[in-house]
């Protein structure tokens, strides 16, 4: 698969998908015939994760180019991403618990066999190889993978989610973590997702022979509840600080709320593995760096920095404006800097995000009921 790390490439992929494949998407999106045959799905997720393409711009472009009902399913899938992000933002302790649990778990022999592609399930081993080589998996395959990991191999879901986060170019704290919880039966309590022989054979070129999958497993259970809480969004007047910090998941310079030219310095930061709680594959980090370089070329008054540079800035600066980097590794790092240096990070939120997140107080289908309201707002 080819994911060129540039804005222009992302727009080319979007235009190609909208002109050639969106009408085929609803009926063809569940089929996975291998990494070199992903013609029906958009393959835009690595760009959306880094906000090279925003969900809202994609939806608006879909609506402007294609009013056919055949585009509805694709728009709904984009809404899933917005919902997942909104749900994690309003239930942030889920991320905190996930990280704590992941780093505390022991990686035993069965785990090592799984991540090395040495299980007794040949097609699962092939998926592991594909994930490591391509840094991508079809969404339906991700569901099968997670179900087999949790219910057939009986491995902790947290380690599986971390394994995906490490290797996926589109690894996202919200979509990835919550999708694994959903498969496990923890997101929609009492309802898990089970990979079944007939389903895998129908939607792939895999023959499930002499392999017994656990197709009757009960959902996992956790009696902890996570109350809905909107972000406080206490933001001071921005631009007064003259320093703006942008992380790797907000690489879009088309935010109408911000006049980037008003800033004296714009710093671009990607955390290396020494500052991450869950390490990333070197190819994933390189993809991020390439996207960052492409962004820098489009934002002329910007400078790529590393974490020692930022920490030195924090020692001598009281306030820094920051494009909100979402619940996840980047936001955790900001909180650590604030605790260490007392720096006030003046968070700049995306108003479209804030509007959508207030509808993420229940399940997706409740969120979907408000889609017309959301479309009117973002349009």
CB 378: neighbour CB atoms within 10 A?
18
pLDDT in tens, 245-278: 999 999 998 777 788 988 999 999 999 999 999 9
Give residue 142's pLDDT. 99
Give residue 255's pLDDT. 75
Greater pLDDT, 241 or 368: 368
Q: In sequence order, what E strands does 211-284 have? A: 243-247, 265-269
Give residue 107's pLDDT. 86
Q: What is the mean pLDDT of residues 303-326?
A: 95
Compute CA distances 66 → 71, 72, 251, 290, 371, whole Å.
7, 10, 26, 31, 17
Greater pLDDT, 39 or 309: 309
Give residue 99's pLDDT. 98
The mean pLDDT of the chain is 94
Contacts of residue 292, Cβ cutoff 8 Å, sequence gap at least 6: 248, 251, 268, 270, 304
pTM score, whole prediction: 0.96
Residue 126 has pLDDT above 80, yes or no: yes
Please report the domains of the chain, with CATH numbers, ordered by start residue. 7-88+357-378 (1.25.40.80), 90-202 (1.10.579.10), 243-348 (3.40.50.620)
Assign 209 a pLDDT band (cuts: 50, 70, 90): confident
Give residue 234's pLDDT. 58
Instruction: Name the percent of the chain lying above pLDDT 90.
Output: 84
pLDDT in tens, 57-107: 999 999 888 666 778 899 999 999 999 999 999 999 999 999 999 999 988
Note whether 269 and 305 are within 8 A (CB): yes
d(CA 143, CA 149): 10
| Buried-exposed string 74-97: b where 16+ CB fall within 10 A, e elsewhere | bbebbbbbbbbbbbbbbbbebbee
pLDDT in tens, 326-371: 999 999 999 999 999 999 999 999 999 999 999 999 999 999 999 9
| Residue 139 main-chain phi, psi, to 5 deg | -60, -40
Residue 235 has pLDDT above 80, yes or no: no
| Residue 297 main-chain phi, psi, to 5 deg | -65, -30
CB 152: neighbour CB atoms within 10 A?
20
- 3-17, 25-39, 127-141, 157-171 — which is least confidently predicted? 25-39
Tokens representing 198? 């007939």
Q: Are β-strands 243-247 and 319-323 bridged in parallel, bridged antiparallel, or unpaired?
A: parallel
Residue 49 has pLDDT above 60, yes or no: yes
Residue 236 has pLDDT above 60, yes or no: no
Q: Are β-strands 302-305 and 265-269 bridged in parallel, bridged antiparallel, or unpaired?
A: parallel
Give residue 238's pLDDT. 55
């Amino acid at each position: 698969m080819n994911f060129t790390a540039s804005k222009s490439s992302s727009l080319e992929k979007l235009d190609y998908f909208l002109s050639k494949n969106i009408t085929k998407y609803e009926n063809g999106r569940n089929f996975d015939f291998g990494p070199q045959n992903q013609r029906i799905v958009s393959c835009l997720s690595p760009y959306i994760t880094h906000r090279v393409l925003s969900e809202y711009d994609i939806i608006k472009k879909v609506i402007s180019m294609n009013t056919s009902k055949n585009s509805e399913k694709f728009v709904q899938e984009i809404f899933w991403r917005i919902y997942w992000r909104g749900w994690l933002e309003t239930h942030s302790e889920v991320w905190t618990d996930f990280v704590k649990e992941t780093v505390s778990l022991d990686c035993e022999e069965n785990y090592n066999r799984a991540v090395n592609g040495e299980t007794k399930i040949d097609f699962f081993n092939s998926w592991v190889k594909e994930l490591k080589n391509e840094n991508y998996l079809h969404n339906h395959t991700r569901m099968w993978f997670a179900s087999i990991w949790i219910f057939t191999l009986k491995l902790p879901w947290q380690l599986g989610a971390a394994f995906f986060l490490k290797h996926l170019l589109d690894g996202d704290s919200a979509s990835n973590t919550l999708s694994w919880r959903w498969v496990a039966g923890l997101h929609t309590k009492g309802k898990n997702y089970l990979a079944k022989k007939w389903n895998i054979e129908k939607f792939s070129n895999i023959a499930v022979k002499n392999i017994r999958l656990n197709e009757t497993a009960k959902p996992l259970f956790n009696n902890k509840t996570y109350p809905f809480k909107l972000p406080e969004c206490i933001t001071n007047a921005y631009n007064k600080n003259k320093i703006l910090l942008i992380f790797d998941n907000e690489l879009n310079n088309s935010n109408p709320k911000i006049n980037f030219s008003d800033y004296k310095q714009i710093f671009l930061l990607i955390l290396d593995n020494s500052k991450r709680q869950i390490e990333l594959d070197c190819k994933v980090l390189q993809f991020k760096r390439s996207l960052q370089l492409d962004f820098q070329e489009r934002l002329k008054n910007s400078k790529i920095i590393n974490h020692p540079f930022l920490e030195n800035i924090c020692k001598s600066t009281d306030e820094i404006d920051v494009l909100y980097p979402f619940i996840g590794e980047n936001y955790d790092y900001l909180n650590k800097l604030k605790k260490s240096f007392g720096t006030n990070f003046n968070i700049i939120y995306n108003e479209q995000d804030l509007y959508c997140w207030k509808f993420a107080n229940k399940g997706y289908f409740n969120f979907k009921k408000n889609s017309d309201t959301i479309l009117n707002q973002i349009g």
